Chains A and B, each alone.
Chain A
Amino acid sequence: MGRKNWLILLGTAVFICIFPLLVTKIRAISHYVDVMIFAGIFTLVSIGLSLLMGYAGQISLAQAAFFGIGAYTSGILTTRFGLNPWAAMPAGMVLCGFVAWIVGVPALRLKGHYLAMATLGFGVIVNIFLAEQVNLTGGPSGLTDIPAMRIAGFKISSEIAWYYLVWGIVFCALIFCLQLLHSRVGRALRAIHEEEKAAESMGVPTARYKVQVFVVGAMLAAIGGSLYAHYVTCINPSSFNLMWSIRFMLMVMVGGMHSLWGALAGTVLMTFVGNEWLQMFAEFEILVYGSILLAVALFLPGGIVSIVPMIAARRRKRSSTIEDAVS
Chain B
Amino acid sequence: MGTDFLQYTVSGLTIGAIYAMVAIGYNAIYSVTEIINFAQGEFVMLGGLFAVFFAGTLHLPLYAAFVCAVILTGCVGFAMDRFIIERARDKSVLSLIVITLALSIMLKGSAMLWWGKDPYSLPAFSPGGPIRIAGAAIQLQALWILGICALIIIGLTLFFRKSIYGQAMLACANNANAARLAGIPVGHMVLLSFVLSAIIGAAAGVLITPVSMMDYDRGALLGLKGFGAAALGGLGQFFGALAAGLLLGLAESFCAGYLSSGYKDAVALFLLLLVLFLKPEGLFGSREAARLKKY
Contacts of B272 in A (CB 8 A): 117-118, 121
Partner of A294, one of B94, B99, B277: B99
Tell me the bound Cα distance from A176 to B205 in angstroms: 48
Contact A110 B295 (CB under 8 A): yes
Contact B295 A124 (CB under 8 A): no
The count of residues in chain B whose C-beta lies closer than 8 Å to any C-beta of chain A is 45
Contact with B along A133-144 (1 / 0, CB 8 A): 000000000000
Q: State the main secondary structure of chain A at its contact with B.
A: helix
Total of A-B residue pairs, C-beta within 8 Å: 126
Contact A118 B88 (CB under 8 A): no
Contacts of A57 in B (CB 8 A): 94
Residue of A nearest to B106 (CB): A290
Nearest CB of A to B89, in Å: 12
Contact B228 A121 (CB under 8 A): yes
Contacts of A9 in B (CB 8 A): none
Partner of A129, one of B97, B113, B266, B276: B266
Contact A113 B93 (CB under 8 A): yes
Contact with A along B95-114 (1 / 0, CB 8 A): 10111011111101110110
Known: A290-B102, A290-B103. A121 touches B273 (CB 8 A): yes
Q: Does A316 contact B (CB under 8 A)?
A: no
Contact B105 A290 (CB under 8 A): yes
Q: Does B263 contact A (CB under 8 A)?
A: yes
Contact A132 B98 (CB under 8 A): no
Contacts of B84 in A (CB 8 A): 294, 298
Contact with A along B206-236 (1 / 0, CB 8 A): 0000000000000011001001100100000
The count of residues in chain A whose C-beta lies closer than 8 Å to any C-beta of chain B is 42
Of A163-171, A213-221, A281-289, the segment with at least 4 beta carbons within 8 Å of chain B is A281-289
User: Which residues of chain B from 215 to 265 have any CB-CB distance to chain A below 8 Å in the complex?
Assistant: 220-221, 224, 227-228, 231, 260, 262-263, 265
User: Which residues of chain A from 98 to 136 have any CB-CB distance to chain B below 8 Å in the complex?
Assistant: 106-107, 110-118, 120-122, 124-125, 128-129, 131-132
Q: Does A93 contact B (CB under 8 A)?
A: no
Contacts of A293 in B (CB 8 A): 98, 101-102, 105
Tell me the bound Cα distance from A290 to B104 in angstroms: 8
Tell me the bound Cα distance from A293 to B97 in angstroms: 11
Contacts of A313 in B (CB 8 A): none
Contacts of A286 in B (CB 8 A): 105-106, 108-109, 112
Known: A125-B273, A128-B262. A111 touches B224 (CB 8 A): no
Nearest CB of A to B81, in Å: 14
Contact A120 B98 (CB under 8 A): no
Contacts of A128 in B (CB 8 A): 262-263, 265-266, 269
Q: Does B294 contact A (CB under 8 A)?
A: yes
Tell me the bound Cα distance from A128 to B270 in angstroms: 11
Most buried by B among A114, A122, A291: A114
Partner of A297, one of B35, B95, B104, B265: B95
Contacts of B260 in A (CB 8 A): 132
6 smallest CB-CB distances across A and B, nearest first, come from: A287-B109, A286-B109, A290-B106, A106-B277, A293-B102, A112-B93
Seed contacts A57-B94, A115-B295, A124-B265; 4 additional CB < 8 Å A-B pairs: A112-B97, A287-B110, A291-B106, A297-B95
| Interface CB pairs A-B, < 8 A, 6 | A116-B38, A122-B273, A132-B263, A253-B98, A293-B102, A297-B95
